[in-house]
Amino acid sequence: MTADYDAALRSHRIDLLYDGVALVGVIETINKPDHLLVENLAVAPVHQGRGHARTLMAHAERLAPANGHQEIRLYTNSRFATNIALYQRLGFEISHIEAIRIGEVTHMRKRLKVP
């Protein structure tokens, strides 16, 4: 709720996923010095459960090595157990849990097997 989307559009990579003419999802990534950060991943509710999040994350896994990274990181609200479970199925591991003023954030990472 405090994200500066104007700044994000200027400095982050934003990729959109379409199913035909319908926009179904978005992934926002940031190149960090030693990893690719998935800042935001969203799939429209009516299109959820069809593998679109997996498709977007596979895209991030191609972007990371193309930008010289062997690791992808992300974070999510610790209450979002469904998201955490999805990321774990995709090979991410919990690196740490951070306490913040309004709850907890689960930080996750995935090391990529890059030739």
pLDDT of residue 8: 83
pLDDT of residue 67: 94
Tell me which CATH code domain 5-111 carries: 3.40.630.30
pLDDT of residue 115: 66
Q: Digits of tens for pLDDT over the chain (115 positions)?
A: 567 878 888 889 999 999 999 999 999 999 999 999 999 999 999 999 999 999 999 999 999 999 999 999 999 999 999 999 999 999 999 999 999 998 999 999 999 987 6
Calpha distance 77→107 (Å, rounded): 9
Q: 3-class DSSP state for residue 56?
A: helix
∠ at Cα 66 (74, 53), nearest 5°? 40
Per-domain residue ranges of the chain: 5-111
Do the Cβ atoms of 39 and 72 come closer than 8 Å? no
Residue 5 token pair: 């989307």
